Amino acid sequence: MIPLLVSLVASTPLVALSFDEAIGLAPQAPRVEGALRAVSEKSALDSKISSLTFNPTLSVMPGYRLHPRRDREPELVAELSQPWNLAGHAGARRYSVSLEEGVLEAELRARALEQRLGAARAWIDLWAAQRVLAQAEREAKIADELQRLVERAAALGAATRADTADARAFVAEARLAVINAEGEVHDRGLELAREVTSSRVDPIAASGDLPSPSLPEPSDHAALVARAADLPLVARQRLAARAQRARAVEEQAARGTVLQLGVALQRDAPGGLVLSGLVRLTPSLFDRGERERGVLAAEAARLEGEQRAGQLAAQIEIAMTLHEVEHTAEVRAELRDQLVPASREGADARRRIFAAGEATLPEVLQSERTAIAAESRLQRAWAMNAWSRVKLWLLLSSMQGDAK
């Protein structure tokens, strides 16, 4: 199945993306575009909200005078009135609306960050898979050379049938590693296509070098952890709780005292015409929105708890990422400077000694396996260190305080 998939992929030209191109496509993701449209559409409608919270009322009461008989004729009473909320409903509504817009803007930032993180991780994982595949292909060539060396030795009587069988097994093992690496490259390429929302359901290739963004100095780490509350998701939770509190205030103001002013025009038979003023006052005595405010207050309390938990989780996430940057750099340096060169030097030396007839094949195969594993670990270590640096860079770039 995997060779078939690889052959199908090979027949289709791959789209290659650099790291910057991959994360640059994040704003085009459907989730990010949807969040952007949500902000735009709400802002457009919110800007049209009137400062008056009630519509005017027009009342018309047509009638007919029945008594006395001599004055029988049509009559009409018309009233035009405008209610006014005296509890600050208009201001409470504007403040609540501004917070709701802030929630959507924080949601947009959170979606964009999530998309960039996903694209960055997919690209780096693909880069590592491609490097492991290249290394596996080189090791397969070495395995073929070793098999030919063993076969020549066997022809001269210097190697046993067991040695030739071990050599063939090593070649098969190397080829299997290539097949597995090809399968991983294929799957990682599809994952990257998903993260960058490619219109083609085909794998994408990673081109270029690993990213290495500049990061703050270690002396700034404590301040960075303290700033975790400015991450988009935490800011969204904070603004959402404030928006619920503001909605509760808005509901109370909506049921505040209402003053209604207007005029009434009355045609009074026979032939009379009366113009009157109208004043109505509806005090807030019984219903003050307790029913609605209770739901909103409970939701606000829940969101405040989630915000505190989210802030703690964000601080831990930043602290862990800071440590991961240092830890993966140490692992990468140890592999690059010690294990990989030592294991490769040992494998090459074992192969030369075997060619001279002074080493056994199991020793050669073991040293080759050690060198192969070390090189693969190094490629993964490069990727893990790059990912930790990019993750921290994206998290820090997304931090900004909310001004609402």
Q: What DSSP line would sit under 7-57, residue for residue?
A: HHHHTSPPEEE-HHHHHHTGGGSHHHHHHHHHHHHHHHHHTT--S-SS--E
pLDDT at 238: 94
Q: How far is CA 367 from the centre of its chain?
A: 44
Half-sphere exposure of 266 (CA within 13 A, CB side): 12
Task: Indicate whether 394 belongs to any domain.
Answer: yes
Task: Indicate whether 7 belongs to any domain.
Answer: no
pLDDT averaged over 10-residue windows placed end to end, the chain, 404 residues:
42 78 89 93 93 93 83 87 94 95 95 95 96 92 85 76 86 93 95 82 90 88 89 94 96 94 87 89 91 94 95 94 95 95 91 79 85 92 96 89 44
User: Which whole-number Å values give the CA distances from 64 to 21, 58, 78, 222, 262, in the listed order?
Assistant: 79, 20, 14, 83, 24
User: Which whole-number Å values give the CA distances from 341 to 132, 137, 194, 386, in the listed order?
Assistant: 17, 19, 37, 21
pLDDT at 6: 43
pLDDT at 11: 47
Task: Indicate whether 1 belongs to any domain.
Answer: no
- Beta pairing partners, 262: 81, 278
Residues spanned by the domain of 185: 16-398
- As for how many domains the chain has, the answer is 1
Task: Indicate whether 123 belongs to any domain.
Answer: yes
Q: Which two tokens stand for residue 138?
A: 């080189």
The model's pTM is 0.84
Biggest distance spanned by C-alpha atoms of the chain: 142
Neighbouring CB atoms inside 10 A of 124's CB total 27
What is the CATH classification number for the domain harbouring 383? 1.20.1600.10
pLDDT at 70: 77
pLDDT at 328: 96
Burial 143-169 (b: 16+ CB within 10 A, else e): beebbebbeebeeeeebeeebbebbee
Task: Indicate whether 10 belongs to any domain.
Answer: no
Task: Indicate whether 292 belongs to any domain.
Answer: yes
45: left (phi over 0), alpha (psi -120 to 50) or beta: alpha
Task: Determine the 3-state secondary structure of 281 from DSSP.
Answer: strand
Task: Indicate whether 310 belongs to any domain.
Answer: yes
Give the amino acid at 50.
S
Task: Indicate whether 4 belongs to any domain.
Answer: no
pLDDT at 15: 87
